[in-house]
Amino acid sequence: MHELSIIQSMMKIVEKASNGKEVEKIVVKIGKMSGVEPYFLKESFDVFKENTVCKNAEMEIVEVDIKIECYSCGEISKVEGFDFRCPKCQSGKTKIISGEELYIDYIEIKE
Ligand SMILES: [Zn+2]
């Protein structure tokens, strides 16, 4: 399961960052093109967090929209329905500038 291995590596990062202290909250950014399903990621987190610094932590997921920049006219736009053409000039020459991210934005440590 893809999400479980992501959680395992995230846990390693969180454990290091928290210095063994209890974590209250983890905020994760997931691009809509990252291929990761927020629901499954949360579920994997809940399974995996037992006996870790995250045992009482909640995971908040922030989904990041897919955005493209047009090579022809420079327009930056949000992608709807996986149509990667520029909505302004209809050019197919665009590059993805967001939507592929997958990272821990921040963690909150219990005081
Ligand atoms: Zn364009």
Ligand 1 centre from 71 Cα, in Å? 7
Task: Give the C-alpha separation, 30 to 28, whole Å.
Answer: 6
Question: What is the tens place of the pLDDT at every residue in 7-62?
Answer: 999 999 999 999 999 999 999 999 999 999 999 999 999 999 999 999 999 999 99
Measured between alpha carbons, how far is residue 12 from residues 6, 28, 32 in Å?
A: 10, 14, 24
Categorize the per-residue pLDDT at 111 as very low, low, confident or very high, splitting at 50, 70 and 90.
confident
Is residue 37 a known part of a binding site?
no
Ligand 1 centre from 66 Cα, in Å? 16
* pLDDT at res. 2: 85
Ligand 1 centre from 23 Cα, in Å? 45
Question: By the 8 A CB rule, do 57 and 25 touch?
Answer: yes
Ligand 1 centre from 80 Cα, in Å? 15
* pLDDT at res. 82: 86
Question: By the 8 A CB rule, do 73 and 40 touch?
Answer: no
Is residue 54 a known part of a binding site?
no
* pLDDT at res. 1: 56
Question: What is the tens place of the pLDDT at every residue in 62-74?
Answer: 999 999 999 999 9
Strand order from edge to edge, sheet including 94-98 = 76-78, 67-70, 94-98
All structural domains of the chain, each given as residue ranges with its CATH number in brackets, are 2-109 (3.30.2320.80)
Is residue 2 a known part of a binding site?
yes
Categorize the per-residue pLDDT at 79 as very low, low, confident or very high, splitting at 50, 70 and 90.
very high
